[in-house]
Amino acid sequence: MGKKLKSVLQVLFSLAIGFFLIWYFYKDLTEEDKRSILNSFANANYWWILVATFIGILSHVFRGYRWKYTLEPLNIKINFINRFSAVMIGYLANLAFPRLGEVSRCAVLTRYQKQPFEKLFGTVVAERVIDAILLLLILAVTLLLQLNVLGGMVTDWLEPMLEKAQNQLIFALAGIIALVLAFFGWKFLQNSEHRIAIAVRAKLLGLWEGIISLKTMKGQFGFYLHTVLIWVCYVGMNYFAFFAFPETHDVPFAGIMASFVMGGLTIVAVQGGLGAYPLGVMTVLLLYGVDRELGYAFGWIVWFAQTAMIITLGFISLLIMPLINISKPELDVTE
């Protein structure tokens, strides 16, 4: 099976799950439930949704600015508008194909700025490692703060995983074997003078240079400050959306954080969170006394606002990238 066909089938399968979740929830709704959901859409205070969306845009601005700190040690100078546009194109690509965003983000700069893809991709990998650590930290803190509320739900998730421990052990062993093979493969590449081995070695070294740029960059404080700002905006985007309804406004901050984590997990699990995001948010809000119909409508409103923002800025970025790169700038005049 070709890689392109496999990617398309993965996307279609993920979208099918999303539509199935929409149908599965909708099929059991009574007419009164449907009216209640529609009333929730009509009664939402969308000014707060706009505030949340603006904060979401700020998070992407900070992400585009932060990128310069990992690029500078590699002597790569790309102005802010190009970095920001590449970030938004990456998010747009992620809506279409999972895990394509990081590749697309680097590919557009390779095309328009003539920079080495491997080094660009290495810096993105380094960023993602830091972001993953922060996400795990937020997840752990949220679970500890709300263990009495979320404990039952976490237990329900863990039981099936524990039952499959034997399969996980097999995967772990397979991973160890893969690492051993990768080690010996790398040793071979280091010593071989074959032209293919030399080319692969150069690509891998470029990727590694990008990853270790975190260690060699001068603006350590600026990088980590912008990392904090990115995640503050992520949380703030979710926080201010809760002002859209009086019922959600009363949810405690720890509950808002639980909703934020759940929403992030559904986006990873299902393509763009379609169908899964509203259900995930609704499930958490039920634990805090928010009605099912209102929680479901709230989830859809937040999901639609975030998705519309990414699509709009992503397509604008696609349009302006060729225009702002008609002639390659010699200096990075705009940080």
Taking a C-beta distance cutoff of 8 angstroms, is the pair 244, 46 a contact?
yes
Dihedral angle sign, alpha carbons of residues 93, 98, 100, 101? positive
Cβ atoms 296, 70 nearer than 8 A: no
Q: Tell me: the pLDDT tens digits for 94-110?
A: 887 766 888 889 999 99
pLDDT digits over 257-306, tens only?
Answer: 888 988 888 887 777 788 889 888 998 898 888 998 999 999 999 999 99
Q: How far apart are CA 291 and CA 95, in angstroms?
A: 29
Task: Note the pLDDT tens digit of each residue in 160-184.
Answer: 444 444 455 555 566 566 666 665 5
pTM of the predicted protein model: 0.76
Length of the chain counted residue by residue:
335
Instruction: State residue 14's pLDDT score.
Output: 58
Going by C-alpha positions, the residue among 201, 303, 277, 318 that lies closest to residue 18 is 277
Cα distance between residue 319 and residue 301, in whole Å: 27
The domain locations on the chain are: 46-241+310-324
Average pLDDT over residues 133-145: 81
pLDDT value of residue 4? 56
pLDDT digits (tens, 9 = 90+) for 20-79: 677 667 777 777 877 888 898 899 999 999 999 999 999 999 999 999 998 888 888 899
Residue-wise DSSP of 163-193: HTHHHHHHHHHHHHHHHHHHHHHHHHHHH--
pLDDT score, position 32? 81
Phi and psi at residue 332, in whole multiples of 5°? -85, 85
> What is the arithmetic mean of pLDDT over 209-235?
82
- 80-94 pLDDT per residue, tens: 999 999 999 999 988
pLDDT recorded at residue 158:
43
Please compute the mean of the pLDDT values over residues 229-247 and round it to a whole number: 94
Under the banding of pLDDT at 50, 70 and 90, the label for residue 138 is confident
**Token pair recorded at residue 183:** 């080690």
Q: Which residue has the tokens 């929730």?
A: 40
Q: Give the largest CA-CA distance in the chain.
A: 73
Contact 256, 238 (CB under 8 A): yes
